[in-house]
Structure 1
Amino acid sequence: MLVDDRVGAVGGIDTALRILSAGFKGAGYNVEFFSFFKAPENPSFEIARKVPYIFREQVYNLQYSHKILWTSSAKLKKIVKKAWRLYADLRMLLYILPRRKGHIFVFTNFASAEAAVSSIKLIRRLGGDSLFIHQMHMAFDSEYIQSLLPSVEKRLLDVFDEILMLTRQDAESASKYFGQEIGFIENPILQSENVQSIVAEKRGATISCITRFTYQKRLELAISAFDAIAHDFPQWTLNIYGEGADRDKLATLIESSKNKHQILLNGPVDSKTAMQIWEKTDLNLMSSRFEGLPMTILEAASCATPTVATPCSPGLNQFVEGAGFLADNDTQVALEEALKQAMTSPELREAKARQGLSKIAENSVEKIVEKWEKIFHTISVERNR
Structure 2
Amino acid sequence: MKIIYILKSFAQLAGTERVMADKINYLAQKGYSITLITYEQGVHPLAYKLHPTVKHIDLETRFFTLQKHSLLTRSFYYIKLKRLFRKKLQGIVNEQKPDYIVTTTYSLKVAKDILRAKYNAKTIMESHINHDSLIKHYEFKKKDINRYFFLVYDKINKNTLKKYDLFVSLTEKDATQWRMSGIKTKVIPNPVTNYPKEINTNKKSNNRIIAVGRLNHQKGFDKLIEAFSLISSKYPEWRIDIYGQGELERELNSQIIQKRLEGRVVINQPTKDIYIEYLNSDFLVLSSNFEGFGLVLIEAMACGIPVVSFDCPYGPNEIITDMKDGILVKNGNVNQLSEKMEWMITHKVERTEMGIQARVSAKKYEIKYIMSIWEELFKNKLK
What SS is found at the alignment partner of 1:261? coil
Which residue of structure 1 aligns with residue 75 of structure 2? 82
Match runs of 1:1-385 below 5 Å: 1-38=4-41, 39-45=44-50, 48-55=56-63, 58=64, 61-64=67-70, 77-78=71-72, 80-97=73-90, 98-100=92-94, 101-108=97-104, 110-121=105-116, 123=117, 128-142=119-133, 150-175=154-179, 177-179=180-182, 181-195=184-198, 197-201=199-203, 203-270=205-272, 273-322=273-322, 323-379=325-381
Q: CA deviation at 1:10?
A: 0.4
Q: Distance in 2 between matches of 1:328 and 1:310?
A: 6
Give the 3 Å change call, closer, same or farther, for CA 115–202 of structure 1 in structure 2: farther
Q: Distance in 2 between matches of 1:36 and 1:290?
A: 27
How many aligned positions are there? 357
Q: Distance in 2 between matches of 1:99 and 1:306?
A: 45
Which residue of structure 2 aligns with residue 71 of structure 1? none
Q: What one-letter code is carried by the residue in structure 2 that aligns with 1:34? A: I
* Alpha carbons 2:111, 2:160 under 8 Å: kept: no
The structure that is helix-richer by fraction is: 1
Q: What one-letter code is carried by the residue in structure 1 that aligns with 2:123? A: F
Give the 3 Å change call, closer, same or farther, for CA 233–298 of structure 1 in structure 2: same
What SS is found at the alignment partner of 1:216? helix
TM-score by length of 2: 0.85
Q: What one-letter code is carried by the residue in structure 1 that aligns with 2:127? A: M
Q: CA deviation at 1:221?
A: 0.8
Q: What one-letter code is carried by the residue in structure 2 that aligns with 1:36? A: Y
Alpha-carbon RMSD: 2.4
Give the 3 Å change call, closer, same or farther, for CA 252–288 of structure 1 in structure 2: same
Cα deviation digits, residues 251-273 of structure 1 (max 9, x gap) = 11111113333111222212xx1
Q: CA deviation at 1:144?
A: 5.8
* Alpha carbons 1:290, 1:312 under 8 Å: kept: yes
Q: Distance in 1 between matches of 2:215 and 2:255?
A: 13
Structure 2: tracts of 5 or more residues without a match: 140-149
Q: What one-letter code is carried by the residue in structure 1 that aligns with 2:58? A: K
Q: What one-letter code is carried by the residue in structure 2 that aligns with 1:11? A: A
Q: Distance in 1 between matches of 2:204 and 2:99?
A: 45
TM-score by length of 1: 0.84
Q: CA deviation at 1:152?
A: 4.2
What SS is found at the alignment partner of 1:199? coil
Structure 1: tracts of 5 or more residues without a match: 65-76
What SS is found at the alignment partner of 1:105? strand
* Alpha carbons 1:163, 1:183 under 8 Å: kept: yes
Q: CA deviation at 1:325?
A: 1.6
Q: What one-letter code is carried by the residue in structure 1 that aligns with 2:130? A: A
What SS is found at the alignment partner of 1:243? coil
* Alpha carbons 2:18, 2:48 under 8 Å: kept: no
Give the 3 Å change call, closer, same or farther, for CA 60–334 of structure 1 in structure 2: farther
Q: CA deviation at 1:275?
A: 1.0
Give the 3 Å change call, closer, same or farther, for CA 119–30 of structure 1 in structure 2: closer
Between 1 and 2, higher relative CO (CA 8 Å, sep ≥ 6) is seen in 1
Q: What one-letter code is carried by the residue in structure 1 that aligns with 2:203? A: E
Q: Distance in 2 between matches of 1:306 and 1:133?
A: 34
Q: What one-letter code is carried by the residue in structure 2 that aligns with 1:288? A: S
Q: CA deviation at 1:318?
A: 2.5
What SS is found at the alignment partner of 1:314? coil
Q: What one-letter code is carried by the residue in structure 2 that aligns with 1:105? A: I
Q: Distance in 2 between matches of 1:280 and 1:105?
A: 39
* Alpha carbons 1:284, 1:308 under 8 Å: kept: yes
Q: Distance in 2 between matches of 1:140 and 1:355?
A: 30
Q: Distance in 1 between matches of 2:208 and 2:359?
A: 20
